[in-house]
Amino acid sequence: MQYDVDFLVIGTGIAGLTFALKVAEFGRVAIVTKKEAAETSTNYAQGGIASVFGRYDSFELHVRDTLESGSGLCKPDVVDMVVKDGPVRIQELMDWGVAFSRDHAGKLELDLGLEGGHSQKRIVHAGDFTGQAVERVLLERVGSHSNMGLFEDYIAVDLITYSTRMKRGVVTAAHEDLCCGAYVLATKTGEVHTFHARITVLATGGAGKVYLYTSNPDIATGDGMAMAYRAGALVANLEFVQFHPTCLYHPEAKNFLISEAVRGEGGVLIDYRGRAFMEDYDPKKDLACRDVVARAIDHELKKSGQDCVFLDITHQEHDFVRERFPNIYQKCLSFGIDMTSDPVPVVPAAHYMCGGVLVDMDGKTDIERLYAVGETACTGLHGANRLASNSLLEALVYAHRAAQQAVKDLGAMNGDVCRDLPPWDPMGTSDSDEAIVVSHNWEEIRRFMWNYVGVVRSNKRLLRARHRIETIQKEIREYYWDFKITSDLIELRNIAMVAELIVQSASLRKESRGLHYNIRYPQRDDKFWLKDTILRRPFVG
């Protein structure tokens, strides 16, 4: 079946929904999402959204903190624009109905949290359910809009691209340069549909599932990055994977994050003997940037041979802890840990991708009519390391700008070169009876990425990872064309692709900067490496 729309939005997190809401009055919108609509990283965000509202804060300070965290690779004009747009975009969320927490005194001013790397209190939050509060309001608004169709359990397989150069009779050794929509698998029926769109937006989130331990939900398999790369778009800075220092360590707790805000409110990291160790690593101690804290924990664990360290906030007023962190408190309690009296066991886990599909200041990729917003994009805001709570902000600001630009682009289009799209070719027709191959490869990739391309890297480990991924990629390619596609197979193909790109990017960067740390080159090298790592799929004519 073929759907014809003006805007195809892939993903229902903060980026995709915000974009969709802003373009809906200008054209028909299809939003596809691979699980239930609320199953997004956005929905799990606890800490909040960084923006300048505080009496002692200023745009200059937020810009400065962001640049400092990005270790020389942030694009200053992008940082400036995002920081300055922040308050307006957050006000818009409040106008739409998001109830952010107010201060304890008058309940009038926004209650602003402090997080690692920020010099001021500037984290706008809704208790510790910020993402959920935002996601709920956005979904309610989408549900009440008549110009939008929401397709749940629809997973995008690949982008449909077209060559305008060939059309003009110019034969060049180059990629196709215009996007016409996407092939999308309806997972409940197994049918692949053609979504023909004048504008396509990747809002597919991050890729934490490439790693064995991650704070991300299962949807985070880097699909947008992999689809864009396969289509010939540029991707950048994929070596900069942020590891959140403090994921709950418990055999039954899957992906549960202990927010940065717990350290912001006085939580202290201690080892198994109860010794606070962050002062050995950074003058900012527990409020050092995430990469510093993650590496410190990694070092402590390797040194002690223990499985985890502990986050201790037992010295704080118990009522305050329960009120400030209701979600984290309840979750820990469900595992028998009362954080008002017990230190919480924690480990680092893959949390955020600073790199992604390379876009300009309006969220445009280098393929015409293809946009990327949110975590799947690389805008230049984060550089080599994201400042805490800047990602929801980036998603909001870029979804707004991309929507404005996309509406202009739509208005300027005359005719449609994308008509008569070929239907999906199912190729392999038999059902797979080898599901074990998929799960085995999936497990193997995640494990070797954790061991070889994790918090601390080395040339030898990267080389090992490269050999492993090459073998697995070959196996996946054979398997992919032989059998009917399933969502598991699509995701496996994508995590393998993103793993390969992370390994490639990390191998290219011969220095340590921000989130990328290679023991062979422990220093930052501004002479040669003050630049992005940009990759494009080689052209096969």
Shortest distance, CB of residue 128 to ligand FAD, whole angstroms?
A: 9
H or E segment at 65? Answer: helix 59-69
How far CA 531 is from CA of 21, 276, 536, in Å, comes to 35, 36, 16
Q: Residue 395 in contact with residue 19, Cβ under 8 Å? A: no
Nearer to ligand FAD, 247 or 449 (CB): 247
Shortest distance, CB of residue 231 to ligand FAD, whole angstroms?
A: 13
Euclidean distance between CA atoms 7 and 198, whole angstroms: 6
Q: Tokens representing 216?
A: 């991300």
Q: Tokens representing 220?
A: 């985070």
Euclidean distance between CA atoms 425 and 159, whole angstroms: 14
Euclidean distance between CA atoms 377 and 360, whole angstroms: 10
Nearer to ligand FAD, 465 or 498 (CB): 498
Shortest distance, CB of residue 307 to ligand FAD, whole angstroms?
A: 21
Q: Residue 206 in contact with residue 216, Cβ under 8 Å? A: yes
Shortest distance, CB of residue 281 to ligand FAD, whole angstroms?
A: 23
Shortest distance, CB of residue 507 to ligand FAD, whole angstroms?
A: 25
Sign for the pseudo-dihedral over CA of 223, 229, 231, 234? positive
SS3 535: strand
Shortest distance, CB of residue 492 to ligand FAD, whole angstroms?
A: 12
Shortest distance, CB of residue 373 to ligand FAD, whole angstroms?
A: 7
Task: Let me know the angle formed at the C-alpha of 306 by 302 and 309, rounded to the nearest 5 degrees.
Answer: 95
Q: Residue 406 in contact with residue 262, Cβ under 8 Å? A: no
Nearer to ligand FAD, 48 or 383 (CB): 48
- The three state secondary structure string of 485-513 is CCHHHHHHHHHHHHHHHHHHHHHHCCCCE
Nearer to ligand FAD, 46 or 507 (CB): 46
H or E segment at 62? Answer: helix 59-69
Euclidean distance between CA atoms 195 and 181, whole angstroms: 5
Residue ranges of the alpha helices (H) in 184-317? 223-231, 260-264, 290-304
Sign for the pseudo-dihedral over CA of 141, 147, 152, 155? negative
Looking at 290, 324, 369, 468, which residue is catalytic?
290
Site residues for ligand FAD per CB under 6 A? 10-16, 32-35, 39-42, 44-49, 130-131, 155-156, 203-206, 215-216, 219, 223, 257, 352, 374-376, 389-392, 395
Q: Tokens representing 405?
A: 């630009």
Nearer to ligand FAD, 32 or 462 (CB): 32
Shortest distance, CB of residue 214 to ligand FAD, whole angstroms?
A: 8
Phi, then psi, of 56 in degrees rounded to 5: -100, 5
Catalytic (active site) residue 273: no
Please, is 264 exposed, middle or buried when counting C-beta atoms within 10 Å of its C-beta (0-12, 13-18, 19+)?
buried
Nearer to ligand FAD, 345 or 374 (CB): 374
- The one-letter amino acid code at 373 reads V
Nearer to ligand FAD, 186 or 534 (CB): 186
Q: Under the phi-then-psi rule, with left for phi > 0, alpha for psi from -120 to 50, and beta for the rest, what region is 156? A: beta
Nearer to ligand FAD, 130 or 441 (CB): 130
Positions annotated as catalytic residues are: 290
